[in-house]
């Protein structure tokens, strides 16, 4: 039996993370202010916030550049992931053939890939970063979609056969709707990965102006408060992607239990 | 890393049989010929002669040497002056105690047929830089030559010259001792032969009015002000370093060998080129190696105050404190060495000829 | 008379045991897939435009120059050649293998730390619902923080740790960063696993009048194993990635991250060389993830039910 | 009281109009089914002969694993016999499936959770391109038939198990098939709901006049619903006995308490236990 | 033929020795249970009075949602009554749980998949620190009792559903409880397996002499097993009627075909339908 949800649980649910966040920030501030930790490397939250106010426009424009790279990578990577999963689920040979490649992609560090992609696609365009984000997004979308496409219940398959439904009808009526929650899970995982990958790729060359480049430039000139402000922007960007995909997922699947 | 908050022994001279004073030195990048003098001093026992036990710490992508120093992680650090000026303004309390490189080693390289022959030609072009503060010289030179920086697109180069070779950038940043050499280690796909200097136009920042001081040795300003042991250690350290660089000047092949053994991943021909080119940036040093030329210093400070990058940021907004540099310790070291008969100016320095192989191997 | 309820072995067993011939075919096709990829690479290199395909200002197909796409055989041949022309220079593959081993050790340390922290967090979150609500969002959020932003801080802080004869080593900073990536899947997976027992099982323990600890040991931990294993596999891959990134970031010597940037710096003159550590990194990740499979077969009795982890 | 072997269509106790032009709904002749599995061959069905008359209600009963579902899947052309032949309304099973001559329902309702009750019932119609207006009126009729008028816009997860099965039955009736294939449709329901659903099925069959092949584990259920009960024995599945129900044509709830009903229950029980002695209890189950 | 209300322990048809010192196993007095849910209060049980004598077999039957499981959970101290009191062997339900006075089994067998049959049966013993040698002999006895000697080292997924339930029953008997609580333990089994399991349960109860509170949906099952059948009505759950089984003390399989058996089935059916008229068919289910 499920435990009856106590009234007020909803409030606790929202409050708890806020309290935890506030406590951590408070401790941080306390340690830096009172604890004698040098605030040269780890600026106090208040200092970071002050910088945020100062450089907000630059954070926005940098966030837009990185965000666009991540978005393009996410969209294209997810699309390719879904198509590849469709191919793999319907043709076993393809499945077996791409399995090792996907496994390798899943363990390859971006650091290794970024310089190579920059040379392949040109350091003067954002494409290398978009490709990195796309590769990062591809893997979880592919894996989850493939799993989802295999979730079709035998009873539904039998039913469709009994209806003498064609393969595209089966795909539309049963296979895709069944896979949908899995696809969305994959996209949700991919969303944060795409952002962080697009950002890290900026460390390895290409046009300037994105969040990753600004974090490294700021850190290199010891402007740590500024660096942390850009890190904050990166977190917000990642969170925005995550929440956006979550919202789309909720919207698309609102009729599921 | 070993920190020597409380140096155990005044490492004065090499006479006492006492324990060696532990010292840590933060390099600016991976071990390579650029730092040949330090590795030579280590390998040839110069540090030990001065009563020091030195740990040389390489850095990588994100380690900022002056920060490691400012945080007390290390005792000395190698870093470029303009980068450190920014850190000093951000609160790093450190002092330039020896300006090892007397000249800037930065070039901007373009194709011979590109029409880019001077800074003025940057307008409307795509210009490469490594970022991490290496772009300041470009902005300074552009300002000096009246180039509208907003028409120039700055691209971050990664660790090699591929972006330039592939045509993504019109002019690439290159250090004389490293990236420039990489060009001559690369075959021209059209001819199959290695590229030659004729294939490129080279802009030397020393001739643009935008050059800034590069590799310098930095020490903790607070400790050097009133910690006598640290002061003594500093002089001893500088003496050993100078001996190392003198060794590298006189024995480039051996010095190159030493850096290779110290973990440089370059091929032998590239490494030798690097040592040789680094020597050119140091020698001759008419005032003695490491002496900070006040005029050069002031010029670098002036450029740092004036230069604005594409986001409107400046390196510094006010004059650095007087503690930012001091010739006191290097002078002591030079004096002692001169007494010992060491040639610390390298008047008669002649670079060698180095032939590069494909891939630098 | 014999009757069967739910005839045939359950899917968990059915799917795991493959006939050797099927298994062989799977491997064969996997190899074929890699060969096809390599052939596509060469075919494109042969036929593709040398400056790639540029559509609307974006190069959507890569350049085919040797600089951008070295021949596969050049990459392979380069592996067996010495790293440099210096005397006694090791063959590239050996250099990569040695570096990979060093990184593997660091990643393993990071993995262990990530495991301990992840499982610890999961236990706390399982025990107190409020802790779950308070911590889980931050745990998820933690993974959106660019790791590289931390590396210098971690190294600098680590440098100050000196307890008795224990002195912080630089590799520990790298391991710590690796653990930062590794703990996440472990925490989430373990929590899911600890919460996976059916209500009926939890109530059974209650009827046996045993407390939280015994329930944990006898019920929740064993039930979490099927969730833990994929999480550990992911954590292993993440630990390797984290270790490599942190090596690059902190400049730690001896590992694969170090030669990765070093050889990338030499890629203009020696483009094939840069691929050595890339292959090394992939093999390393696969080895780390694969070693979890060994653990999985040791714990196979705890995986009798297949789960959607 | 019981007939062994195939006794054809004649024994139907409550004759219903045959579907136009054919006297038999299903003819199964000498059907074997062998499954190839990794651990060897499994003989699921052996020499099955069976004729179901148009409009007749036939139940298949037998121990688990005796091949009831397999037989039903063969009739539905969801699988093919290893040997022997099956015809449905005089056509091949495959043709009958393509012509949508049968409706089908399983133990799990198999509703699509993302479709409403109405949309689920509509599914086969829309798959076969029936015009929207016609679909709408047909779905309205069916919802009415299974008594779910107020639930048309609900989603399956908002329904009780019994209601879900009613939707599944409505769906199986969507194309007005002359044959219904039902594999333990009430297996997951509790006994009271189950009795209600049985009464409903009796009513629906009377209205639609379809022949039914009905798989069940429950003897009272088989007795209550059927014209004939086919008792099967396992390993390999064979027809053990076919028991004709000697009961009144109209099956009302009162029937369940009549002694005639109990007698038929006992008859089927005995036919069932004929192959498998009741007394042996310990360790007899095996997989 | 039927007694309404609580008729105490005296009506047991086949008296078994009471557990030492107590004449009643379970006493439920004026119990109410109200659940607080997001959509308001749900009154699950209302003024329940019930006494189960030591060694007596009592079944709870009633439509889905009438509170059978809730009542059983209250007795097991898995939940607390809103008002009223429950005592088990003269102690509070909580104390009885702490003293391990009852064994319990559910519809799902609830075996731990990573433990063998023997280890699953051993679970409660090892949790309570019984010595290894004693555990071993006790497990041996129990495996023997449920007829699974050859399967001791198998894992649950290698067993059929019926065998799994036997393991669960063995496990519930591990501590030699004087009370067994069983919530639809055979609900997931097919009818033939189910009948076999019922016969086994009868035998096991005769051997262990434990009192049993048995929740079921099946009337024949309740009749076959019980001394008394408690018929409950839903919303809020009340005891509608308690029917004492007038049947022979030894329940053999032959009983299922006797008319006395059918009569008791009919009696329970009628008691059940008393609250909910059989005739109303459409749209009566609700969630
Ligand atoms: N696809 C299959 N592959 C292999 N064997 C199968 C397959 N389907 C069924 N069988 C086997 O065929 C036999 C009959 O199975 P079937 O499902 O028809 O029995 P059933 O009478 O419907 O049983 P239940 O009452 O449990 O539903 C069983 O022994 C089963 O293991
Ligand atoms: N934890 C709970 N929270 C809220 N309501 C509950 C809870 N447990 C049970 N109920 C409600 O109490 C009533 C009785 O539930 P219970 O499970 O006891 O019925 P039941 O007779 O066992 O039904 P079934 O035959 O379906 O098992 C139902 O209306 C149910 O919805
Ligand atoms: Mg079946
Ligand atoms: Mg219940």
CA distances from E38 to A110, A206, E42, E45 (A): 48, 55, 10, 19
Between helices C170-194 and C221-250, what is the axis angle to 10°?
150
Q: Residue E7 pLDDT more than 60?
A: no
CA-CA-CA-CA torsion sign (C293, C296, C300, C305): negative
Determine the topology of domain D53-78+179-286 in CATH: Rossmann fold (3.40.50)
Q: Residue C39 pLDDT more than 90?
A: yes
Locate the domains of chain E by residue range: 53-78+179-286, 108-176
As a whole number of Å, the end-to-end CA separation of chain A is: 17
Q: pLDDT for E29-45, tens place per residue? A: 999 998 888 878 888 89
User: Among all residues of chain D, which has the CA nearest to that of E149?
Assistant: D283
Chains E, B in contact, 3 or more Cβ pairs below 8 Å: no
Q: Cα–Cα distance between E43 and C121 in angstroms, integer? A: 39
User: What share of chain C has pLDDT > 70, as a percent?
Assistant: 92
- Chain C closest-CA separation from residue A229 CA (Å): 11
pLDDT of residue A179: 93
Q: pLDDT for B28-49, tens place per residue? A: 888 899 999 999 999 999 999 9
Q: pLDDT for A184-242, tens place per residue? A: 999 998 998 899 899 988 888 888 888 988 888 888 778 888 888 999 999 999 989 99
CA of E64 to the centre of ligand 4 (A): 7
Highest mean pLDDT (candidates C219-223, D148-152, D260-264): C219-223
Owner of token pair 């570096």: C99
Residues 211-240 of C with CB under 8 A from E: 214, 218-219, 222-223, 225
Contact across the interface for A161 and D128, Cβ inside 8 Å = no
Q: Ligand 1: which of D65, D71, D218, D285 to mutate, most ligand atoms within 8 Å of CB?
A: D65
Q: Is E63 in the pocket of ligand 2 (CB under 6 A)?
A: no
Task: Identify the H or E element spanning E45.
Answer: strand E40-53
Q: If you ran DSSP here, which 8-state letter would residue C90 be given?
A: P
Q: What is the mean pLDDT of residues E151-162?
A: 86
Chain B residues within an 8 Å CB radius of A219:
62, 64
> Where does chain D have alpha helices with state H?
68-75, 93-98, 117-127, 132-145, 161-172, 191-208, 219-225, 259-275
Q: Is C2 in the pocket of ligand 1 (CB under 6 A)?
A: no
Mutate which of B3, B55, B61, B68 to test chain C, going by most C C-beta atoms within 10 A? B61
C17: contact with D, CB 8 A cutoff? yes
Q: Is D162 in the pocket of ligand 1 (CB under 6 A)?
A: no
Residue C213 burial (C-beta neighbours within 10 Å; 0-12, 13-18, 19+): exposed
Chains that touch B (3 or more CB pairs under 8 A): A, C
Q: Three-state SS for D229? A: strand
Q: Residue D153 pLDDT more than 60?
A: yes
User: What share of chain C has pLDDT > 90, as a percent?
Assistant: 37
Q: Is E262 in the pocket of ligand 2 (CB under 6 A)?
A: no
Contact across the interface for C268 and B161, Cβ inside 8 Å = yes
Per DSSP, the residues of B123-173 read TTSEEEE--TTTTHHHHHHHHHTT--GGGPEEEE--SSSHHHHTTS-SEEE
pLDDT of residue A37: 63
Q: Is D37 in the pocket of ligand 1 (CB under 6 A)?
A: yes
Query: Model confidence at A35, in pLDDT bands (50, 70, 90)?
Result: low
User: What share of chain B has pLDDT > 90, as a percent?
Assistant: 42
Q: What is the mean pLDDT of chain E?
A: 82
Contact across the interface for E35 and A5, Cβ inside 8 Å = no
Q: Residue E16 pLDDT more than 50?
A: no
Which residue CA neighbors atom 1 of ligand 1 most closely? Answer: D35
Q: pLDDT for D31-58, tens place per residue? A: 999 888 777 888 889 899 999 998 899 9
Q: pLDDT for B66-98, tens place per residue? A: 888 988 889 999 999 988 998 898 888 999 999
Query: Model confidence at C303, in pLDDT bands (50, 70, 90)?
Result: confident
Its ipTM equals: 0.83
Has residue A82 been placed in a domain? yes
Chain D residues within an 8 Å CB radius of C3:
63-65, 234, 276, 284-286
Contact across the interface for D217 and E253, Cβ inside 8 Å = no
Q: What is the mean pLDDT of residues D93-111?
A: 89
Chain B residues within an 8 Å CB radius of A202:
156
Q: Is D216 in the pocket of ligand 1 (CB under 6 A)?
A: no
As a whole number of Å, the end-to-end CA separation of chain D is: 34
Chains that touch D (3 or more CB pairs under 8 A): A, C, E
Chains D, B in contact, 3 or more Cβ pairs below 8 Å: no
pLDDT of residue B167: 86
Has residue A34 been placed in a domain? no
- Chain A closest-CA separation from residue B93 CA (Å): 10
Q: What is the mean pLDDT of residues B13-19?
A: 55
Question: Which region among B197-201, C101-105, E253-257 has the lowest average model confidence (pLDDT)?
Answer: E253-257
Q: Cα–Cα distance between C204 and E111 in angstroms, integer? A: 10
Pair of tokens at residue B40: 């030579």
- Chain C closest-CA separation from residue B101 CA (Å): 23
Other C-beta atoms lying within 10 Å of the C-beta of residue C300: 12
Chain A residues within an 8 Å CB radius of D183:
none
Q: Which residues contact D198 (CB under 8 A, 6 or more apart)?
A: D186, D221, D224, D225
Contact across the interface for A122 and C135, Cβ inside 8 Å = no
Q: Residue E139 pLDDT more than 50?
A: yes
pLDDT of residue E118: 93
CB A2 within 8 A of CB C199: yes
Contact across the interface for C237 and A215, Cβ inside 8 Å = no
Chain D residues within an 8 Å CB radius of A155:
106, 108, 110
Question: Which region among A187-191, C227-231, D17-21, D112-116 has the lowest average model confidence (pLDDT)?
Answer: D17-21
Chains E, A in contact, 3 or more Cβ pairs below 8 Å: yes
Owner of token pair 């000829």: B353
Q: pLDDT for D14-37, tens place per residue? A: 344 444 445 788 999 999 998 887
The 3-state DSSP composition of chain E as helix, strand, coil percent (nearest 5) reads 35, 25, 40
- Chain A closest-CA separation from residue B131 CA (Å): 7
Q: Which of D283, A104, B302 is nearest to C289 (CA)?
A: A104
pLDDT of residue C22: 78
Q: Is D69 in the pocket of ligand 1 (CB under 6 A)?
A: yes
Ligand with smallest separation from the Cα of E106: 4
Q: Identify residues of D whose CB sits under 8 angstroms from chain A CBs.
A: 73, 76-78, 97-98, 100, 102, 104, 106, 108, 110, 112-114, 123-124, 127-128, 155, 157
Task: Report the Cα B85 to chain-centroid distance in Å.
Answer: 15
Q: Identify residues of E whose CB sits under 8 angstroms from chain A CBs.
A: 35-38, 69, 73, 79
Task: Identify the H or E element spanning B38.
Answer: helix B36-43
Q: What is the mean pLDDT of residues D75-80?
A: 92
Q: Which residues contact D105 (CB under 8 A, 6 or more apart)?
A: D165, D168, D169, D171, D172, D180, D181, D182, D183, D185
Contact across the interface for C245 and A109, Cβ inside 8 Å = yes
A98: contact with C, CB 8 A cutoff? yes
CB B234 within 8 A of CB B97: yes
Ligand with smallest separation from the Cα of D44: 1
Q: What is the CATH number of the domain that holds A113?
A: 1.10.3720.10
E64: contact with D, CB 8 A cutoff? yes
Q: Is E64 in the pocket of ligand 2 (CB under 6 A)?
A: yes
Number of domains in chain A: 1
């Amino acid at each position: 039996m499920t435990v009856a949800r106590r009234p007020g649980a909803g409030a606790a649910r929202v409050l708890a993370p806020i309290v935890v966040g506030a406590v951590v920030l408070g401790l941080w501030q306390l340690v830096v202010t009172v604890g004698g930790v040098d605030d040269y490397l780890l600026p106090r939250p208040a200092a970071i916030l002050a910088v945020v106010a100062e450089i907000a426009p630059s954070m926005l424009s940098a966030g837009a550049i990185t965000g666009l790279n991540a978005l393009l990578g996410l969209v294209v990577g997810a699309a390719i992931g879904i198509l590849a999963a469709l191919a793999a689920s319907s043709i076993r040979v393809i499945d077996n053939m791409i399995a090792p490649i996907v496994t390798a992609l899943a363990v390859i560090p971006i650091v290794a890939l970024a310089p190579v992609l920059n040379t392949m696609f040109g350091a003067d365009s954002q494409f290398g970063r978009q490709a990195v984000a796309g590769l990062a997004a591809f893997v979880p979308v592919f894996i989850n979609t493939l799993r989802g496409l295999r979730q079709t219940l035998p009873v539904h398959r039998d039913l469709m056969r009994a209806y003498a439904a064609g393969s595209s009808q089966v795909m539309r009526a049963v296979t895709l709707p069944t896979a949908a929650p899995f696809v969305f899970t994959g996209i949700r995982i991919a969303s944060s990965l795409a952002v962080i990958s697009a950002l890290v790729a900026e460390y390895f060359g290409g046009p300037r102006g994105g969040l990753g480049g600004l974090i490294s430039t700021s850190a290199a000139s010891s402007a740590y408060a500024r660096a942390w402000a850009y890190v904050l922007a990166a977190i917000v960007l990642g969170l925005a992607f995550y929440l956006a995909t979550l919202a789309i997922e909720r919207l698309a699947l609102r009729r599921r239990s | 890393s070993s920190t020597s908050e409380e140096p155990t022994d005044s490492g004065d001279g090499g006479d006492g049989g006492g324990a060696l004073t532990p010292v840590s030195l933060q390099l600016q990048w991976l071990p390579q010929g650029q730092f040949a003098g330090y590795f030579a001093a280590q390998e040839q026992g110069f540090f030990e002669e001065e009563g020091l036990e030195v740990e040389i710490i390489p850095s990588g992508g994100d380690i900022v040497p002056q920060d490691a120093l400012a945080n007390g992680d290390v005792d000395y650090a190698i870093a470029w002056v303009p980068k450190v000026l920014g850190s000093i303004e951000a609160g790093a309390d450190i002092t330039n105690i020896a300006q090892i490189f007397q000249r800037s080693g930065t070039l901007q390289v373009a194709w011979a047929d590109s029409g880019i022959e001077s800074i003025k030609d940057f307008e409307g072009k795509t210009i490469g830089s490594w970022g991490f503060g290496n772009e300041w010289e470009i902005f300074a030179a552009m300002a000096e030559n009246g180039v509208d920086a907003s028409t120039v697109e700055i691209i971050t180069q990664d660790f090699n010259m591929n972006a330039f070779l592939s045509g993504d950038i019109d002019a690439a940043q290159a250090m004389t001792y490293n990236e420039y050499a990489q060009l001559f280690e690369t075959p021209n796909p059209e001819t199959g032969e290695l590229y030659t200097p004729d294939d490129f136009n080279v802009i030397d920042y020393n001739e643009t009015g935008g050059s800034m001081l590069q590799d310098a040795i930095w020490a903790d300003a607070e400790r050097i002000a009133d910690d006598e042991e640290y002061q003594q250690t500093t002089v001893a350290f500088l003496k050993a370093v100078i001996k190392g660089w003198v060794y590298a000047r006189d024995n480039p092949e051996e010095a190159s060998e030493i850096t290779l053994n110290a973990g440089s991943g370059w091929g032998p021909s590239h490494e030798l080129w690097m040592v040789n080119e680094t020597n050119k940036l140091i020698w001759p040093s008419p005032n003695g190696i490491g002496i900070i030329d006040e005029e050069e210093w002031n010029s670098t400070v002036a450029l740092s105050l004036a230069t604005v990058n594409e986001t409107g940021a400046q390196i510094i907004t006010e004059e650095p404190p007087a503690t930012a540099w001091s010739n006191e310790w290097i002078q002591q070291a030079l004096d002692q060495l001169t007494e010992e008969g060491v040639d610390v100016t390298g008047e008669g320095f002649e670079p060698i000829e180095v032939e590069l192989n494909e891939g630098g191997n | 008379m014999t009757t069967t309820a739910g005839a045939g072995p359950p899917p968990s067993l059915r799917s795991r045991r493959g006939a050797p011939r099927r298994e062989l075919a799977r491997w064969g096709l996997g190899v074929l897939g890699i060969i096809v990829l390599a052939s596509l690479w060469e075919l494109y290199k042969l036929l593709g435009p040398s400056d790639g395909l540029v559509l609307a200002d974006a190069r959507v197909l890569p350049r085919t120059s040797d600089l951008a796409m070295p021949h596969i055989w050049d990459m392979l041949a380069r592996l067996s050649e010495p790293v440099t022309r210096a005397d006694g220079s090791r063959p590239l593959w050996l250099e990569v293998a040695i570096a990979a081993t060093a990184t593997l050790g660091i990643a393993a340390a990071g993995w262990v730390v990530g495991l301990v922290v992840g499982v610890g967090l999961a236990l706390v979150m399982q025990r107190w619902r409020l802790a779950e609500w308070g911590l889980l969002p931050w745990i998820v959020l933690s993974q959106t923080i660019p790791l590289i932003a931390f590396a210098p801080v971690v190294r600098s802080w680590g440098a100050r740790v000196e307890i008795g004869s224990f002195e912080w080593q630089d590799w520990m900073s790298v391991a710590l960063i690796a653990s930062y990536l590794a703990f996440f899947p472990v925490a989430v997976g373990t929590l899911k696993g600890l919460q996976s027992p059916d209500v009926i099982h939890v109530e059974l323990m209650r009827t046996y009048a045993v407390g939280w600890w015994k329930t944990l040991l006898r019920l929740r931990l064993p039930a979490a194993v099927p969730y833990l294993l994929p999480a550990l596999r992911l954590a292993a891959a993440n630990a390797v990635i984290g270790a490599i990134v942190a090596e690059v970031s902190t400049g730690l010597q001896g590992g694969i991250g170090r030669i990765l940037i070093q050889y990338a710096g030499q890629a203009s003159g020696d483009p094939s060389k840069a691929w050595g550590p890339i292959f090394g990194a992939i093999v390393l990740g696969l080895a780390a993830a694969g070693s979890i499979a060994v653990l999985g077969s040791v714990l196979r009795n705890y995986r009798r039910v297949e789960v959607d982890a | 009281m019981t007939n062994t072997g195939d006794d054809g269509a004649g024994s139907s106790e409550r004759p219903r109009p045959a579907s136009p032009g054919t006297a038999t709904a299903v003819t199964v002749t000498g059907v074997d089914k062998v499954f190839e599995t990794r651990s060897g061959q499994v003989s699921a069905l052996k020499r099955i002969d069976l004729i179901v008359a148009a409009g007749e209600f036939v139940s298949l009963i037998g121990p688990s694993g005796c091949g009831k579902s397999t037989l039903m899947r063969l009739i539905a052309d969801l699988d093919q016999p290893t040997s022997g032949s099956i015809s449905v309304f005089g056509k091949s099973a495959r043709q009958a499936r393509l012509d949508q001559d049968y409706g089908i329902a399983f133990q799990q309702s198999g509703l699509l959770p993302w479709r409403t009750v109405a949309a689920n019932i509509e599914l086969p119609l829309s798959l076969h391109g029936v015009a929207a207006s016609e679909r709408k009126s047909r779905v309205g009729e069916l919802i009415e038939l299974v008594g779910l008028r107020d639930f048309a816009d609900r989603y399956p997860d908002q329904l009780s198990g019994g209601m879900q099965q009613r939707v599944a039955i409505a769906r199986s009736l969507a194309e007005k098939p002359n044959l219904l294939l039902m594999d333990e449709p009430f297996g997951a329901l509790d006994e009271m709901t189950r009795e209600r659903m049985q009464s409903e099925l009796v009513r629906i069959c009377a209205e639609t006049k379809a022949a039914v092949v009905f798989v069940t584990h429950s003897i009272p259920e088989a007795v209550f619903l059927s014209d004939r009960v086919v008792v099967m024995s396992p390993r390999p599945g064979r027809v053990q006995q076919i028991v004709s129900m000697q009961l009144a044509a109209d099956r009302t709830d009162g029937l369940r308490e009549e002694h005639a009903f109990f007698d038929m229950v006992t008859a089927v029980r005995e036919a069932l236990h004929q192959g498998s002695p009741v007394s042996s209890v310990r360790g007899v189950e095996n997989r």
